[in-house]
């Protein structure tokens, strides 16, 4: 069913939910009319006690943009009502939705109208997703011209360095390529000593579980036969997301990251992908990665605020207390992070 939707994404795949949250904690809602699937939602159920209180969490959904069909705002309205009836009304849960939409877009307006009964959480550091979004509709020549001049010069330099980009195609090849990526990534972490919440081993388990058509794209850049840079991206639906990147010292010298990104963009363009989400930016906390991604000349966008609804005082109290504890822990970790000497070249996302 996921393949029916242009707004499908990695976070709504069964593999992502099953590996990250456990299949026993997943719930799936399917909206149909006359046998036709109109909408989908994969929801995580969190019950911290044995009683029927807790949270239903929908990440980057619901899905309702059928491929090849005209957009129908009424489907979004019905999905919103169905989600509220099932998880808020019947199950008495605190429903929290992180919508797959960026502020100022038509999709955002449609979702805000559909979920008008929900409350928008105020945007704070731990629930704000800001990124660069690259429109891939122009020709490949136009996309190259749009690159920042310095970025384009670095790409040209990388193309002269006799580098080789290796793609993984088979399941075994994907596993081998991902292992090669992890080696570069872990070496980079030791060298840069940066803090991150990314679990590359978890992404590896998700990769092994995904069906071939949804598998993440793993690109390795080799110099003289040895891997020097790697990139991991997801392309599901009509959009791609840059998930992970890693570069060795040799990769920095040879500009391997530029060649990897451009190789991926050409592949996305050839396969009809419309948008490339560069995977989040933090100008203050990670200026090096911010400047690298800004060179793509994408649009600086922010995801819609999380939407919440709840009729249960107990579920609401439990969830809000848990979120407050999580924010406190993140602030504490952040204080430890900034107390340590960090390399200004540290990069991850």
Q: Where are the domains of the chain?
A: 2-129+303-339, 135-300
Given this model, what pLDDT does residue 7 score? 97
Task: Flag whether pLDDT at 153 surpasses 60.
Answer: yes
* Contact (CB, 8 A) for 55 and 308: no
Given this model, what pLDDT does residue 328 score? 47
Q: What is the pLDDT of residues 80-132, one digit of tens each?
A: 999 999 999 999 999 999 999 999 999 999 999 999 999 999 877 777 899 99
**Fold designation for 135-300:** Aminopeptidase (3.40.630)
Q: Do domains 2-129+303-339 and 135-300 have the same CATH topology?
A: yes
% of the chain exceeding 90 in pLDDT: 68
Does residue 269 or residue 332 have the better pLDDT? 269
Q: HSE-up of 296 (CA within 13 Å, CB side)?
A: 28
Q: What is the pLDDT of residues 221-266, one digit of tens each?
A: 999 888 899 999 999 999 999 999 988 877 778 899 999 999 999 9
Task: Flag whether pLDDT at 335 surpasses 50.
Answer: no
Closest C-alpha to 203, from 239, 142, 255, 245: 245
CATH class of the domain defined by 2-129+303-339: alpha beta
Pairwise CA distance, residues 303 & 192, whole Å: 29
Q: What is the pTM of this model?
A: 0.87
Of 38-47, 148-157, 312-321, 324-333, minimum mean pLDDT range: 324-333
Q: What pLDDT band is residue 344 in, cutting at 50, 70 and 90?
A: very low
* Contact (CB, 8 A) for 101 and 277: no
For the chain, how far is it from start to end, CA to CA, in angstroms?
Answer: 29
């Amino acid at each position: 069913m996921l393949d029916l939707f242009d707004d499908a994404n990695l976070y709504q795949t069964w593999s992502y939910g099953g590996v990250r949250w456990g299949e026993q904690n997943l719930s799936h809602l399917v909206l149909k009319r006359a046998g036709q699937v109109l909408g989908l939602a994969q929801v995580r159920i969190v019950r911290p006690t044995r009683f029927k209180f807790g949270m239903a969490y929908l990440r980057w959904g619901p899905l309702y943009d059928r491929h090849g069909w005209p957009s129908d705002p009424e489907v979004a309205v019905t999905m919103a009502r169905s989600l509220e009836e099932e998880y808020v009304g019947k199950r008495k849960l605190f429903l929290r939705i992180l919508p797959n939409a960026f502020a100022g877009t038509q999709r955002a307006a449609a979702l805000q109208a559909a979920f008008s009964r929900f409350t928008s959480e105020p945007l704070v550091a731990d629930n704000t997703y800001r990124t660069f979004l690259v429109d891939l509709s122009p020709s490949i020549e136009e996309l190259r011209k749009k690159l920042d001049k310095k970025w384009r010069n670095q790409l040209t330099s990388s193309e002269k360095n006799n580098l080789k980009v290796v793609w993984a195609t088979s399941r075994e090849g994907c596993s081998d390529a991902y292992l090669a990526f992890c080696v570069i990534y872990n070496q980079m972490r030791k060298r840069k000593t940066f803090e991150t919440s990314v679990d590359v081993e978890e992404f590896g388990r998700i990769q092994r579980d995904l069906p071939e058509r949804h598998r993440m794209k793993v690109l390795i850049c080799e110099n003289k036969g040895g891997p020097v840079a790697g990139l991991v991206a997801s392309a599901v639906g009509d959009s791609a997301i840059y998930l992970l990147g890693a570069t060795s010292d040799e990769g920095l010298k040879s500009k391997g990251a530029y060649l990897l990104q451009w190789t991926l963009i050409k592949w996305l363009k050839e396969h009809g992908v419309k948008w490339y989400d560069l995977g989040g930016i933090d100008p203050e906390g990670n200026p090096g990665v911010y400047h690298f991604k800004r060179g793509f000349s994408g649009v600086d966008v922010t995801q819609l605020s999380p939407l919440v609804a709840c009729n249960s005082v107990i579920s609401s109290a439990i969830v809000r207390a848990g979120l407050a504890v999580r924010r406190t822990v993140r602030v504490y970790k952040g204080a430890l992070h900034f107390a340590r000497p960090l390399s200004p070249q540290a990069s991850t996302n």
